Amino acid sequence: MAFLAVLGCCTALAFPARAGENGLQIWVNGGLLSYHFNRNKDYREQNWGLGAEAILAPDHAVVVGTYLNSENRRSDYLGYQWRPVHWQLSGVDVGAGVTLSLIDGYPTMNNERWFLAPLPVLAIEGKRVGVNLILVPNFSRGAALAAQLKLKVW
């Protein structure tokens, strides 16, 4: 899966002109920062990695990536994002919806094997820079709010 994330990001960087012509947008990210509501646990909150997001239409995107998770393990993810709610604030696009992701690598979730995770998302996107705010529900050990900084490469 990490290979797919790297391949997707390299492809996005190699062909920026063509994608912009047909409306496809590609964003890359370096993982995410998380804030865990249960402050009594020693969760990792700098979850560095590599990911890509392909916005296929205003409401639809696919995501793929890898990161060092809050339990200090490598996690890979692959998902579909549906953002049906949109508005603009001072030239910034904002979209809200849910990302349905397959994620692995968490010892407390399915013994580090793949599991399905519905994650509410709020995407805030400027012309080249954006952020995804992701609410991680209380699956097994605590809820968190994550911020995924991203760069539009086409």
Instruction: Report the relative pairing of strands 60-68 and 144-152 from DSSP bridges.
Output: unpaired
pLDDT at 21: 45
- Name 7's Cβ contacts closer than 8 Å, sequence gap at least 6: none
What's the CA gap between 39 and 136, in Å, rounded? 15
Delineate the domains of the chain, giving CATH numbers in brackets. 2-152 (2.40.160.20)
pLDDT at 126: 96
pLDDT at 108: 85
pLDDT at 19: 41
Per-residue pLDDT of the chain (154 residues; tens, 9 = 90+): 554 444 444 444 444 434 444 589 999 999 999 999 988 888 999 999 999 999 999 999 999 999 999 999 999 999 999 999 999 999 899 999 999 999 999 998 889 999 999 999 999 999 999 999 999 987 666 799 999 999 999 8
pTM confidence score: 0.84
pLDDT at 142: 76
User: What is the full DSSP assignment across 69-98?
Assistant: -TTSSEEEEEEEEEEEEEEEETTEEEEEEE
pLDDT at 14: 46
b vs e for 14-49, b when ≥16 Cβ sit within 10 Å of the residue's Cβ? eeeeebeeeeebbbbbbbbebebeeeeeebeeebeb
- Name 137's Cβ contacts closer than 8 Å, sequence gap at least 6: 117, 118, 119, 143
Contact 62, 54 (CB under 8 A): yes
